[in-house]
Amino acid sequence: MNEIQARTDVLICGAGPAGLSLSIELARRKVAFLLIDKAAGPFQGSRGKGIQPRTHEIFEDLGVLDRIMAAGGLPPTLRTYREDDSFDEATREPIAANPAEPYPFPLVVAQFRTEAVLRERLAELGHHPRYEHELVDFGQSSSAITATINGPDGIINVSAAYLVGADGGSSAVRHALDIGFPGEALGVRAVVADVRLDGLGRDAWHRWPNGIGVCPLPGTDLFQIQGMLKPDTEVDPSPAGLTALLTAASGRTGITVTSVSWASVYSMSARVADRYRVGRVLLAGDAAHVHPPTGGQGLNTSIQDAYNLGWKLTAVLAGAPDRLLDTYEQERRPIAAEMITMAIRLLLAPAAGVPQRGREVHQLDLAYRDSTLSLNPPESLNAAGSVTGGRRPGDRAPDAPLLGAAGQPTRLFTLLRGPHWTLLGYQVHPDITARTGLHIHTVGPDGDLIDNNNHLQQTYGLTPGDQVLIRPDGYLAALLPAAHADLLPAYLNEVGLTPDREAARQPQPAP
Ligand SMILES: Cc1cc2nc3c(=O)[nH]c(=O)nc-3n(C[C@H](O)[C@H](O)[C@H](O)COP(=O)(O)OP(=O)(O)OC[C@H]3O[C@@H](n4cnc5c(N)ncnc54)[C@H](O)[C@@H]3O)c2cc1C
């Protein structure tokens, strides 16, 4: 059998939402990587179909938001039937955009369509997942990982600086590292299936009293059947079997499943990995956390893991201190633990399974306030521990409409789009040496940006002289009053944003 030797910077095991998102992050930063998946081809199921508002913002940055919006649709009206087939309808009130939150509404997008959009974006950046490539073994030293991959043309021995296990809930990478995966089996079995059917309208998400629901999948002619099963219920995933399931759920005889494109019966569990990093190996997505689907958090959390990890891996590969990578687990593991607690609470709530949720599932309020990356000068906190204006380092950086110096409309999110850090001086020119990967703007009469309606000032609680440092993943790193601006250079060095050598070589004015 052939044995091929290969070398790359990052080996990504698993081309689901986490692996694809991480690949886009690395590709747009020109990092060398290999994305492998043991499956024969792309995943064809709809399972993670709820895309949350925070993920839209990330998709905007990744350059796929318009395509994702076109691939899905707003959640349909929820029609809940009673035993006598009468029903209540909960029409979804549109959630209006506001200057700080341009996309505050969730979307329904079949997971296979989300993944297709991510693959298309990755192809634009010159990369493709390698299917039929299974990670079968790996080891690590202090300087590299070595991995054995079983591919269609033989064994590939890969040497890389890092391995990311984005290989799903039963992660071989997590098992190989013997990382604990504490939590619980929830004792709940569920069915999910993508079907074509006759006898139900596409104008509503239908739900029956026994917890079985049927949701039209926007942009397709499919419906997703989803629901919890009684412990001893066997499900026959054929058209006849799923027709029988819907007949029993609805008490009607007119609903006929005509074809099944994908189906799965699974047992819910809720677990979070003890560690997200062991040396040069990291876990992302379901490999690091599994949970019930209530609240539609899993796919979103997986993409956001990748979004947090991508820029940090890039920075460390380019020479930033290795401890930057430790902040990945520090920031993302508590998020997964919180998400799991919420998903279990929603599962056990009286309205369990009702897919109409509030802001708690939108992920706009997730924050990394306790992260070592959140720069909090002690004097900037008031007695309650808050910065004036309520925003704190670690919070999501909200959007704000702005004008360019010639009066042309722009938005903060437009300025943030891309792999760079952003430093805003509010009515002050930041006194910082230029660095690769840092964009510096001045907001104010003499600056390149005008906060004409004071949205930026109010949303961020700014006073003249303040500086706002925003991370590549759209979280606030620092909100510094003028008196603490001297903290910035050391912070920037720590995250790998060192002054450009050429700039540093320029003659400095005599003191
Ligand atoms: C019924 C259901 C409903 C859900 N609803 C939602 C929802 O509404 N919203 C939401 O956010 N989430 C939802 N989820 C969860 C969501 O589907 C997952 O969180 C998401 O798929 C995780 O993405 P991932 O990339 O981490 O892993 P996966 O999508 O599982 O991808 C892992 C990949 O790794 C590959 N792989 C595994 N082992 C190897 C190996 N040794 N070598 C190479 N490749 C390997 C696999 O082939 C696979 O392609 C739902 C899940 C279910 C089951």
Q: What is the DSSP code string of 252-296?
A: -S--EEEEEEEEEEEEEEEEE-S-SEETTEEE-GGGTEE--STTS
Give the mean model confidence (pLDDT) for residues 345-354: 68
8 Å CB contact between 294 and 190: no
| Residue of 12, 47, 303, 340 best suited for mutating to test ligand 1, as the one with most atoms within 8 Å of CB | 47
286 lines ligand 1 (CB under 6 A): yes
Ligand 1 center–CA 491 separation, angstroms: 36
Q: Note the helical H segments in 32-189.
A: 53-62, 65-71, 111-124, 172-176
Give the per-residue pLDDT at 360: 85
The CATH architecture assigned to 186-269 reads: 2-Layer Sandwich (3.30)
What is the tens place of the pLDDT at every residue in 166-205?
999 999 999 999 999 999 998 889 999 999 999 999 999 9
Interatomic CA distance for residues 283 and 447, integer angstroms: 42
Interatomic CA distance for residues 401 and 399, integer angstroms: 7
pLDDT band per the 50, 70, 90 thresholds, residue 389: low
Structure-model confidence comparison of residues 415 and 502, the more confident one: 415
Give the position, in ligand 1's atom list, of the atom nearest the Cα of 134. 42
What is the tens place of the pLDDT at every residue in 83-142?
999 999 988 777 899 999 999 999 999 999 999 999 999 999 999 999 999 999 999 999
The structure tokens 């318009």 sit at: 66
Q: For residue 3, how many other CB atoms are within 10 A of its CB?
A: 9
Give the position, in ligand 1's atom list, of the atom nearest the Cα of 149. 42
| Residue of 20, 38, 191, 301 best suited for mutating to test ligand 1, as the one with most atoms within 8 Å of CB | 38
CA 139 from centre of chain: 28
**Cα angle value 334/353/263 (rounded, 5°):** 95
> What are the sequence ranges of the domains in the chain?
3-74+103-183+270-361, 186-269, 378-505
498 lines ligand 1 (CB under 6 A): no
Structure-model confidence comparison of residues 358 and 58, the more confident one: 58
Measured between alpha carbons, how far apart are the two ends of the chain, in Å? 69
Give residues with Cβ within 8 angstroms of 347, minimum separation 6. 186, 188, 268, 292, 294, 353
Q: Output DSSP code: residue 84.
A: T
72 lines ligand 1 (CB under 6 A): no
48 lines ligand 1 (CB under 6 A): yes
Give the per-residue pLDDT at 511: 47
Give the per-residue pLDDT at 386: 47
| Nearest CA, atom 3, ligand 1 | 47
What is the tens place of the pLDDT at every residue in 249-277?
999 999 999 999 999 999 899 999 999 99
Q: Which CATH number fits domain 3-74+103-183+270-361: 3.40.50.1000, 3.50.50.60, 1.10.760.10, 3.30.413.10?
A: 3.50.50.60
Q: Output DSSP code: residue 475.
A: B
Lowest mean pLDDT among 209-213, 219-223, 379-383: 379-383
Tokens of 433: 């040496």
Give the per-residue pLDDT at 348: 80
Positive or negative, the CA dihedral 28, 33, 39, 40 is positive
| Nearest CA, atom 9, ligand 1 | 296
Ligand 1 center–CA 133 separation, angstroms: 17
What is the tens place of the pLDDT at every residue in 5-48?
999 999 999 999 999 999 999 999 999 999 999 999 999 999 99
Give the position, in ligand 1's atom list, of the atom nearest the Cα of 301. 11
> What is the domain class of 378-505 according to CATH?
alpha beta
Residue 164: strand, helix, or coil:
strand
135 lines ligand 1 (CB under 6 A): yes
Return the beta strands (E) in 152-202 as ranges. 154-165, 183-198
Closest listed residue to residue 162, CA positions, set 12, 286, 35 = 12
pLDDT at 385 over 80: no
357 lines ligand 1 (CB under 6 A): no
To the nearest whole number, what is the mean pLDDT of the chain? Answer: 93
Give the mean model confidence (pLDDT) for residues 397-406: 97
Do strands 107-108 and 50-51 pair parallel, antiparallel, or not at all (unpaired)? antiparallel
Give the mean model confidence (pLDDT) for residues 385-399: 78
Residue length, the chain? 511
pLDDT at 364 over 70: yes
Give the per-residue pLDDT at 150: 98
pLDDT at 502 over 80: no
